[in-house]
Structure 1
Amino acid sequence: MNINNKNKYLLIELLTEELPAYLENLSEEFAKNVYDNLNKSGFLSNNSSYQIFATPRRIACLFHNILDESPSFINKEKLMPKKIGITPEGQISNILLKKLQKKFNITNINLDCISVEKHEQQEYVFLINHVKGQLLKNYLKNILKDSLNNINLPKTMSYQLDDGLTTIKFVRPVRNLLVMLDDNLICTELLGLNATDYTYGHRIMTNNSKIKITHAKDYEKILEIKGKIIASFEKRKSIIKYKLLEKANLIDATLLFDNPETEKLLNEVTSLVEYPVIYLGKFDNNFLKLPNECLILTMRLHQKYFPLFSKKEKSLIHNFLIVSNVDNNNIIIGNERVIKPRLSDAHFFYEQDLKISLKEMISRLSKIIYHNKLGSQLDRTNRIVFIAKHIAKILNADIKLSEQAANLSKIDLSTNMVNEFPELQGIMGSYYVLQKGYDQLVSDALKMQYNIKFFNPINKKNIISAILFISDRIEMLLGLFSINMKPNGEKDPFGLRRAALGIISIYENMYDLNSIESKEFELKELLYTSAKAFNNIDNSVIEEIIQFIYERYKYQLLLKFPKNIIEAVISVQPPFNQIAKRINDLEKFAKLSKANKLFSINKRINNIIKNFKNNEFVIDINLLNDNIEKKLVEKIYYLKPILRNYIINQDFFSYLNKICEITNEVNIFFNDILIMSEQIELKNNRIAILIEINNIINNNINISKLN
């Protein structure tokens, strides 16, 4: 191996037309693929690493401590047993000679090219092959091609090379390929382009000037100084954030970086610029009369501006920040000119909507089709009202407010604002009902109904929101499952998996369910009653939905807990607000030494009763002939009320601990009593005892799943 082949820097850059912002991870995926392929081919050292660069026009990576020649090594291939391949005189047999000549085309054969080694209790002949190290420059073409082909691209485009004949497919046209090892160009080819040792600078600030890279390790520095390009995504993002805060401080404003939407926009604009410049713009103060969400949506989503808020009140102000790829003050005038008509349109739509009565908005829902098999949005609203009133009654919530929230929940689907800004559905409705004098709780319910999950503990202040939230999702699941529009594989066009998680979040946050005497709020009962809002939903559909929701919860829990622990709890389909507590208590209990004794007894019981139906056997105390049987049954009746109280108090750890008290009596019962007695009545009674114990152990947490 070449002693000078360590500590090399390998640089690869694909210069492209502007890449979509959603492909910000493209460089990372490409770099990882190249790194993995370099590793497979033996070109990495013990301290190899890589660095990622990503701009709107560049997919680039720099690999540190790369070998320009892979190490030589000895390859051994098992051929045949020694007794066949080597003669008693120690020479190569004719059989081995023929195999070497036929399979490996080896004609000049001597004992130096083979070895005899013990393998699986027998001596075998191995072929020794001295493999010489390979040069990186000879392998790189295949490495680059394979690495690029294995990038997961949502879509590609076809384009022609300058020769006008060759067609290439990639996410965007690639205009230059830069490949260097230290200060040397590596002559290779990718996507129809020959490698170069130069790249191009900022398209505007340097007029796309050609920039020679003198050494791979200096790529980032040369690009920034000569090319006005900040190649590192993270460095560029950090600079943008610093400059945004700096500019906001000049007018005593803030950007609310604790909001995930601000961080999302920061990532997006970082993907859109190569050398960021920050500008401060403004719009007319009168537009602040519009709902804040409308202004923020227009700035963030449509214009990629950063809204600004006052530092003290955190209220929206009439200024915004622009991240540009160009250093030109005309940017401010141009962007202020663009945003004015957008906000003027929004203001007009808002004023027009306020002139329409809520009754008229509701009436218009009859003309908006929800699904051709499920009717209009008005039909859907009526079903949600039915479900919401039922839930309000169960939870002792305000039925009138719950009905109002459900009845008004979809009104903004018929408005100009939501037609123009679909992302504001629910939010605009919350403003319209407030303008018409409805309770703040109703307004809040409309605003929260489209959230992914219900994030807060449910109390009197948000109970109306919670009722509308779960009613909407129950109606959705019942309706769409009933017409067989359920998720299939990765396809879930109606977001039913998300709807299931939304229902789960309500139960997780409903901490005081035990204060509700009725069991009607338990999932099964709630779905069966809610199904009455539809015509003839089959019971099998409801059971399928129940199973679907529990399955979604199981997948969610797998991120935190072992699968068998989850199965033990989920399989008995307990109330959702108890699932996490049961899992935690079972996980804690399973670590105790006594747990194994209980698991062992449970397994033995299951093996005996698995072929018997539970409902066919009842304990008859008159058939308890032996004191051992009597003591065991007495223990069962002693434990049952105690265990019931633990369940009521949701103390499942104590519940499992208490069950362990029966293990001694059960062991004695197994050792001293003939369960499968020839007397049928005695046998059946003893089976009944075991079934009762099995029910006690597994009905609330099915520990059989842990066996």
Structure 2
Amino acid sequence: MRYDTLLVEIGTEELPPKALKGLSESFTDGLSSLLKENDFTFDSVKSFATPRRLAVQVERLASQQADKIVEKRGPAVNVAFDDAGNPTKAAEGWARGNGITVAEAERLVTDKGEWLLYKAEVQGQPLADVLPELVAAALKKLPIPKPMRWGNGTAQFIRPVKTVTMLYGSELIPGTILDVSASNQIQGHRFHAPQGAALKSANDYEATLESIWVVGDFAKRRDIIVSGIDKLAKELGGRVVEDADLIDEVTALVEWPVALSASFDESFLSVPKEPLIVTMKDDQRYFPLEDEQGNLLPAFIFITNIESKDPAQIVSGNEKVVRPRLADAQFFFESDKKIRLADRVDGLASILFQKQLGSIKDKSDRIAKVAASIASDLNANAAVAERAGYLCKADLASQMVLEFPETQGVMGMHYARHDGEAEGVPQAIFEHYLPRFAGDELPQSPEGAAVAIADKLDTLVGIFGIGQTPKGDRDPFALRRAAIGLLRIIVEGGYNLDLEVLVKHSAASFGTLLTAKDVQQDVVDFLLGRFRTWYQEQGIAVDVIQAVLARRPTKPVDFDLRVKAVTEFRNHSAAEALAAANKRVSNILAKVEGKLPSTVNDDLLQEDAERALANAIKEAREVSAAALNAGNYTAALASLASLQQPVDTFFDHVMVNADDDSVRQNRLALLQNLRELFLQIADISVLN
């Protein structure tokens, strides 16, 4: 058996930069999986991806599939032979189809019966015979939402295909992929090596690419870019505004990266840095620079795809390109400042939030009202929260935000400061959008938190209130993200707020607009349900979350304390036995008809074990009471762990269903008291 390196490359027109990384990973995973499924052994795979190619290199790939034994089961023996022991037509037909006689068939005996069996040795096919089909299959699985056609052919792919290369060692594997015949010709850099190169061996792929000015390894190309950016940033006395996604996108745009720096007029720094950064990054794919204090520097770094003999010309060209974009931002800022933010609020009446729920102006009015109420609950400045809520969406009517939507909130903050709004209002306007994504910062001021919570509640309650709840992957109003953000603000901020109260306030602000039934309960249930997703991402066990959810605590901070306490208790030596006991008690009580006594009658306790349990429950209740009142669920559960031994002894020596009804009722009441002790915190019976 021969083992060698396989190289499969699909050369194309420029691929979409934001999709390149995913396409490469999918192609590599798909092809390697298909090789395994088809019994080809190999050591490792490596992916290559540039703007004009997707490639996979497979190390020590077997030249042929492994031989294998294929078992073909025939009819059951009682069907294969008649009463006289002669083969039936069913058996003869099956044997004939496999090229044998019935007499040559083996027998397969199982617990369920006996069948005819044919074992066939299938010889593995050569790689060259099956590779084109496997490559085509891997390409079909790529995540391509809108494939395109080109020329007169019928092939469809994300971009027109120019070359196909399938080399095994130095041997070209013939085949046609996407209407292109395989060859050993690969594309070079569009400008430095337009002639490309003839690849002599799959082992030479990476070196050959670099000889024609292409860094094929995505990770290596990214490292070159990061290194070049860092070097220039230090020389310029600044640091790059971090953006991993932008680095990936630029990596996907170039084949031979060269980092250069340029500058712009310092007069543009009179504009807040956020829109300048947006236009440099989003429109031009530049890397802006900041000083140690976070102030924008009049310089930027960019990545070119050419090793120029006169880089000054490239620098000059990029400086000319960026100037009008910065000038636009400066014009919008100066124009916007002429109108007070408060004077823009009425203009929000013409911007629709949702047809049934009204305009953005209506939403702002609701946010202001609810934010003031929340701020009061937090002992924060209700007037500041109300004013910030009223103004929080006003920048949507500004020229700057219309041009650069990413700056909403931050421009409202700057305009509010310019207008001389009360201290705390500008910050709360900015913070009300937080968190914008997973792991994002949270509002630092309670007023900002109040407006952020009110905004997210308004969206959740409003959309639920008109019956447009998230279904499957559909969540057009990003309600799941809003819910997680709301919970994070409350829990991580340590705010003593109750979801039921919050939702009630928000629902009241809509007046008669909400038409769905049970809106408030549905929203609270939805919010509680998001705890599961949030905690699972933190590595919390599902059964711990379920144990707390079973009690439905509606204060997020309290919910969090319970989850942490149950997580710690789950590792206690007594946890398993007590969880099993609680499950047993739960099952016993579920069968009880009628109401049980609320207290235990000591005079009806007959056995030492039940008297011991009754005393242990009283002691545990007294010890845990102080911890429960302080919200220290960890200490409370630790004290309840002492019940393990008396509970085990009780079940070992006491018959719950005694013949005497009063004794039986008393024992059930004892178990009910035991269960209620734990249910003050969580339902530990669901712990695994």
Distance verdict in 2 for CA 1:107–1:487, change over 3 Å: closer
Distance verdict in 2 for CA 1:421–1:613, change over 3 Å: farther
2:525 aligns to what? Answer: 547
1:579 aligns to what? Answer: 559
Offset at 1:672? 7.1
Q: 2:379 matched to 1:396?
A: yes
Residue 37 of structure 2, aligned match among 36, 40, 46: 40
Give 1:15-164 correspondences, 5 Å limit: 15-24=11-20, 25-45=22-42, 48-79=43-74, 95=87, 99=91, 102-105=94-97, 120=111, 126-160=117-151, 164=152
Contact map agreement 1:349 1:417 (CA 8 A) in 2: yes
Long gaps (5+) in structure 1: 88-92, 514-520
Offset at 1:246? 2.5
Q: 2:546 matched to 1:561?
A: no
Distance in 1 (CA, whole Å) between partners of 2:100 and 2:545 is: 65
Distance in 2 (CA, whole Å) between partners of 1:446 and 1:230 is: 46
Distance in 2 (CA, whole Å) between partners of 1:180 and 1:456 is: 46
Stretch moving more, 101-110 or 482-491: 101-110
Distance in 2 (CA, whole Å) between partners of 1:676 and 1:115 is: 60
Contact map agreement 1:455 1:505 (CA 8 A) in 2: no
What secondary structure, in the 3-state scheme, does the structure 2 residue paired with 1:280 have?
Answer: strand
Distance verdict in 2 for CA 1:68–1:664, change over 3 Å: closer
Q: Which residue type is aligned with residue 9 of structure 2? A: E
Long gaps (5+) in structure 2: none
Stretch moving more, 51-60 or 536-545: 536-545
Distance in 1 (CA, whole Å) between partners of 2:558 and 2:441 is: 15
Distance in 1 (CA, whole Å) between partners of 2:200 and 2:344 is: 68
Distance in 1 (CA, whole Å) between partners of 2:566 and 2:584 is: 20
Give 1:646-661 correspondences, 5 Å limit: 646-661=627-642
Give 1:397-412 correspondences, 5 Å limit: 397-412=380-395
Residue 318 of structure 1, aligned match among 280, 291, 298: 298
Q: Which residue type is aligned with residue 315 of structure 2? A: I
Residue 323 of structure 2, aligned match among 319, 340, 361: 340
Distance in 2 (CA, whole Å) between partners of 1:117 and 1:446 is: 75
Distance verdict in 2 for CA 1:372–1:136, change over 3 Å: same
Residue 314 of structure 2, aligned match among 331, 346, 357: 331
Q: 2:192 matched to 1:197?
A: no
1:517 aligns to what? Answer: none
What secondary structure, in the 3-state scheme, does the structure 2 residue paired with 1:546 have?
Answer: helix
2:574 aligns to what? Answer: 594
Distance in 2 (CA, whole Å) between partners of 1:346 and 1:635 is: 72
2:6 aligns to what? Answer: 10
Distance verdict in 2 for CA 1:53–1:104, change over 3 Å: farther
Distance verdict in 2 for CA 1:198–1:640, change over 3 Å: same
1:516 aligns to what? Answer: none
Distance in 2 (CA, whole Å) between partners of 1:495 and 1:123 is: 58
Give 1:165-184 correspondences, 5 Å limit: 166-184=153-171
Distance in 2 (CA, whole Å) between partners of 1:557 and 1:550 is: 11
CA deviations 1:440-486 (Å, max 9, x no partner) are 53222222222326979989x62222111111111111111111122
Stretch moving more, 73-82 or 197-206: 73-82
Contact map agreement 1:454 1:466 (CA 8 A) in 2: no
1:294 aligns to what? Answer: 275
RMSD: 3.1
Q: 2:532 matched to 1:535?
A: no
Distance verdict in 2 for CA 1:32–1:674, change over 3 Å: closer
Distance in 1 (CA, whole Å) between partners of 2:404 and 2:620 is: 61
Contact map agreement 2:600 2:670 (CA 8 A) in 1: no
Offset at 1:686? 4.8
Distance verdict in 2 for CA 1:626–1:215, change over 3 Å: closer
Q: Which residue type is aligned with residue 210 of structure 2? A: E
What secondary structure, in the 3-state scheme, does the structure 2 residue paired with 1:178 have?
Answer: strand
Offset at 1:114? 5.4
- How many residues end up aligned between the 2 structures? 675
CA deviations 1:522-543 (Å, max 9, x no partner) are 1112212332212145771111
CA deviations 1:558-588 (Å, max 9, x no partner) are 2312221210012212232233443333233
Distance in 2 (CA, whole Å) between partners of 1:247 and 1:593 is: 57
Offset at 1:696? 1.8
What secondary structure, in the 3-state scheme, does the structure 2 residue paired with 1:169 have?
Answer: coil
CA deviations 1:297-317 (Å, max 9, x no partner) are 01001110111223x444211
What secondary structure, in the 3-state scheme, does the structure 1 residue paired with 2:150 have?
Answer: strand
Residue 266 of structure 1, aligned match among 225, 247, 257: 247
Contact map agreement 2:11 2:53 (CA 8 A) in 1: yes
Q: 2:437 matched to 1:447?
A: no
Distance in 2 (CA, whole Å) between partners of 1:698 and 1:79 is: 58
Contact map agreement 2:81 2:87 (CA 8 A) in 1: no
Distance in 2 (CA, whole Å) between partners of 1:294 and 1:613 is: 68
What secondary structure, in the 3-state scheme, does the structure 1 residue paired with 2:604 have?
Answer: coil
Distance in 2 (CA, whole Å) between partners of 1:664 and 1:243 is: 66
Q: Which residue type is aligned with residue 508 of structure 2? A: K
1:482 aligns to what? Answer: 465
TM-score by length of 1: 0.88
What secondary structure, in the 3-state scheme, does the structure 1 residue paired with 2:59 have?
Answer: strand
Offset at 1:67? 1.1
Q: 2:331 matched to 1:381?
A: no
Q: Which residue type is aligned with residue 95 of structure 1? A: P
CA deviations 1:189-208 (Å, max 9, x no partner) are 111111111112111122x2
Residue 695 of structure 1, aligned match among 663, 676, 681: 676
2:202 aligns to what? Answer: 216
Q: Which residue type is aligned with residue 289 of structure 1? A: S
What secondary structure, in the 3-state scheme, does the structure 2 residue paired with 1:74 have?
Answer: strand
CA deviations 1:356-409 (Å, max 9, x no partner) are 123312222223222221122221111111111111111111122222221221
CA deviations 1:295-354 (Å, max 9, x no partner) are 1101001110111223x4442111111212234443323222221111111111111111
What secondary structure, in the 3-state scheme, does the structure 2 residue paired with 1:170 have?
Answer: coil
CA deviations 1:166-194 (Å, max 9, x no partner) are 22221111111111111111111111111
2:172 aligns to what? Answer: 185
Contact map agreement 1:458 1:511 (CA 8 A) in 2: no
Distance verdict in 2 for CA 1:307–1:357, change over 3 Å: same
Contact map agreement 1:53 1:59 (CA 8 A) in 2: yes
What secondary structure, in the 3-state scheme, does the structure 2 residue paired with 1:70 have?
Answer: coil
CA deviations 1:13-34 (Å, max 9, x no partner) are 1111111111122122111111
Offset at 1:283? 1.3
Distance verdict in 2 for CA 1:74–1:690, change over 3 Å: closer
What secondary structure, in the 3-state scheme, does the structure 2 residue paired with 1:95 have?
Answer: coil
Contact map agreement 1:402 1:467 (CA 8 A) in 2: yes
2:502 aligns to what? Answer: 526
Distance verdict in 2 for CA 1:635–1:130, change over 3 Å: closer
2:687 aligns to what? Answer: 706
Q: Which residue type is aligned with residue 71 of structure 1? A: A
Stretch moving more, 301-310 or 680-689: 680-689
Distance verdict in 2 for CA 1:332–1:127, change over 3 Å: same
Stretch moving more, 680-689 or 599-608: 680-689
Distance in 2 (CA, whole Å) between partners of 1:621 and 1:195 is: 85
Distance in 1 (CA, whole Å) between partners of 2:235 and 2:377 is: 54
Contact map agreement 2:81 2:91 (CA 8 A) in 1: no
Q: Which residue type is aligned with residue 264 of structure 2? A: F
Contact map agreement 2:209 2:215 (CA 8 A) in 1: yes
1:90 aligns to what? Answer: none
